[in-house]
Structure 1
Amino acid sequence: MKNLLYIGNKLSKHGVTPTTIEILGPLLEQEGFIVSYSSSEKNKVLRFVAMIWSVFRYRNVDCVLIDTYSTTNFWYAFAISQLCRLFGLKYIPILHGGNLAFRLKNNPQICQMIFKYSFQNVSPSLFLIEQFKLEGYENVIHIPNSIELENYPFLERENAKPNLLWVRSFAKIYNPMMAVEVFSVIKNKYPEATLCMVGPEKDGSLLHAKQKAKDLKLDILFTGKLSKQDWINKSKEYDIFINTTHFDNMPVSVIEGMSLGLAVVSTNVGGIPFLLENQNDALLIPDNDVEKMVEAIDRLIGDSDLVSKITANARRKSEQFDWNVVKKEWMTILK
């Protein structure tokens, strides 16, 4: 297969965090594939129309890649997959939705129409593979999200200071309010503590987080969306990466934090325990448990040996997500 059509939300030019379509697509182009994309339309209806039209326009491609999520975009994936079936096109759903397991149980017939007839289903998350296999799907393979590791210099931290970094889109599912609440407690214990929250607005959560910070008289740095290089440079000022999400699969931002030498503290939800091992390469805490996250941060600040251990192990683990490793899996199914 040389000619690919990639369907997904290609929206970074509108200030949205780049998703897999804008990371994987160019990497495949580097390997010699000809990739057409849809869609970068900001309006959801126009984006859906553009996606449908692209299947008609590129119906002679060798394969269609479909970024498949669990909310509104689930229905994009359904419509595109059925159009591919109509045209006899091979298609590969790439499974991202943290709540796709919910879809499998609550929309079983729709899911069968998408995933049973695909050329292959690709899951970056071992958690989702487990969920799909529990529902009887055998045509699911694991290809992790990838990064170009050479772009992520490892900074060895001899100890952890109370300087916290949060990187994600501001959406309720990622629970940014928890980061503000955690920082409020940390700031009382460590007056020199800092928190930087990097990411674009998605559903009003940024506004709420800023208001909460104002109410609590907290000086939090909200940067908005930063380029990859800018936030990598910014990360050098911080020691602890906090991931507060309610649902997750295999977040690239966490892999990036691991590769940069940041000590990761994360909620133990969805695919996270398939990515991180508690007390080995991260510290994991229950969902939305502010007290436990504060305790974990306290541990890191007080235990330089623990910081050295988990950051070194995390960097080693991040090496398996390097594109030079991951691309072999993609080449196997696309060629």
Structure 2
Amino acid sequence: MKILIICHEHPPLGGGGGSAASRFAMNLAGQGDEVLFVTSTYKDMPLREQTDGYGVFRFDISRKNKFGCDIPELIRFGLRGKRFIDELFKDYRPDAIAAFFAIPSGYVARYASQKYKIPYIVSLRGGDVPGFLSRELWFYQFLATPLLKKIMGSAKRVFSNSRYLARLGEKTSKSEIAVVPNGFDTELYKPDFSKRPGGLVNILFAGRLVYQKGLDVALKAVSILDKTRFHLNIVGSGPLEGELKALAARLNLAGSTTFMGWLTKSELLKLYQQSHILVIPSRDEGLPNVVTEAMSCSMAVVGTNCGGIPELVENGVNGYVVEPDDIKAFSEKLGGLISDTDTINKFCENSREMAGRWSWADAANRLRGLINEH
């Protein structure tokens, strides 16, 4: 089958949505499908390349940031994407289109479907769902909702990566949304216990430094704990970086926290292998890749009861889930873990076992099944 994937981001650009789309592409191609991935370019990236068994075609949207797009850039992706499709389809026709993010990719897919009579499916990833991150995105989502209804209504199927996003999306689509969770890659992400120190517990946070991710909660939670028992490594950057570094200094965490900026995939893998506990204190989430990667590397997880996090973290099995912004509960769960090596080891073992239940190959098969539904 010839499958066209459309997403405004593709590694090394963007975040979890583009990364997930690329993993679907790689596994579909590995299973024999002919996959082409249309995305945006940045600086001197090649406009065409072959990677992991599939083709990547890029076009310019005057993108200014490697890690995310602003609203004008998303609009340009939609408008220029239509022109790009017209040029592409002069000598190429897929059997189906998979759009990751209803806006802007779903907008381009709907245009291609209506003009060239090709079915498309849409993957909801978070920010494209009204009600997700409503504090930051409510106005954008309010304006976009009429278009979102058309995009979802015209799609052959709509799917999300978590039950939470599916329920949220169904309020807009008024029809059933399938769930295709992100896969676990237990071959690439695997533990190496020789890298984990004895005595000191390594805690890891990885994500954008924005309000949604809740790092301020984690910093306040660990500031209550015995600082000789742990070290918190913080991977990522963002608009709140200066403010969060100042908060860490005020909380006397300079000696027990390290802000590391963004890391390469291989550098992050080594850090997973060196760490015991992942903290994900988010205020809203889809199905975060960082949790699936950490679980594959046999890490315990302390997260919040929001989005798809409780679909990955089972209380008392591979970690703990507390309510968002509950600093006291977050601190209590972390404190209990760093003083109980046996429980950490049990949670780490359970995470690795749970990661083996659903692979990216399984996810790709499910996506293909949605395309082939009658």
**1:63: Cα distance to partner?**
2.3
**1:266: Cα distance to partner?**
0.1
Find out whether 1:173 has 2:212 as its counterpart.
yes
Amino acid at match of 2:214: N
Q: How many positions carry a matched residue from both structures?
A: 325
Find out whether 1:208 has 2:243 as its counterpart.
yes
Amino acid at match of 2:83: W
Q: Secondary structure at the match of 1:9?
A: coil
* CA contact 1:162–1:190 (8 Å) conserved in 2: no
The corresponding residue for 2:125 is 96
**1:29: Cα distance to partner?**
3.0
**Map 1:33-48 → 2, pairs under 5 A:** 33-40=34-41, 41=61, 42-43=63-64, 44=73, 46-48=76-78
Distance 2:315 2:111 in 1: 43
Which residue, 304, 313, 335 being the options, matches 1:276? 313
Query: Structure 1 stretches of 5 or more lacking a match?
Result: 69-73
Amino acid at match of 1:97: G
* CA contact 1:98–1:247 (8 Å) conserved in 2: no
Greater shift, 147-156 or 76-85, is seen at 76-85
- Tell me the TM-score normalized by structure 1: 0.84
Q: Give deviations 1:125-172, integer Å, cap 9, x for gaps.
A: 122223344666445222111232111123568988442100112222
**1:16: Cα distance to partner?**
6.0
**1:260: Cα distance to partner?**
1.0
Amino acid at match of 2:107: A
* CA contact 1:16–1:200 (8 Å) conserved in 2: no
Q: Give deviations 1:293-321, integer Å, cap 9, x for gaps.
A: 11001111233343233222222221133
Question: RMSD in angstroms over aligned alpha carbons?
Answer: 2.9
Distance 1:120 1:229 in 2: 35
Distance 1:193 1:276 in 2: 22
The corresponding residue for 1:71 is none
Amino acid at match of 1:7: C
The corresponding residue for 2:114 is 86
Distance 1:247 1:98 in 2: 10
Amino acid at match of 1:33: E
Q: Give deviations 1:199-244, integer Å, cap 9, x for gaps.
A: 233xx12222222223334232222111222111122332111001
* CA contact 2:305–2:323 (8 Å) conserved in 1: yes
Find out whether 1:233 has 2:263 as its counterpart.
no
Q: Secondary structure at the match of 1:276?
A: coil
Change (3 A) 1:282 1:98: farther
The corresponding residue for 1:313 is 350
The corresponding residue for 2:81 is 51
**1:245: Cα distance to partner?**
0.7
* CA contact 1:78–1:110 (8 Å) conserved in 2: no
Structure 1 stretches of at least 4 aligned residues deviating more than 6 Å after TM superposition: 157-160
Q: Give deviations 1:173-199, integer Å, cap 9, x for gaps.
A: 11222222223223xx23242111112
Change (3 A) 1:216 1:200: same
Distance 2:230 2:350 in 1: 25
- Tell me the TM-score normalized by structure 2: 0.76
Distance 2:347 2:199 in 1: 12
The corresponding residue for 2:2 is 2
Q: Secondary structure at the match of 2:99?
A: strand
* CA contact 2:5–2:25 (8 Å) conserved in 1: no
Change (3 A) 1:308 1:122: same
Distance 2:94 2:237 in 1: 34
* CA contact 1:164–1:238 (8 Å) conserved in 2: yes
Find out whether 1:67 has 2:68 as its counterpart.
no
Query: Structure 2 stretches of 5 or more lacking a match?
Result: 42-60, 65-72, 133-137
**1:285: Cα distance to partner?**
0.8
More helix by proportion, 1 or 2? 1
The corresponding residue for 1:19 is 19
Q: Secondary structure at the match of 2:244?
A: helix
Find out whether 1:331 has 2:364 as its counterpart.
no
Find out whether 1:304 has 2:341 as its counterpart.
yes
**Identity, % of aligned positions:** 20
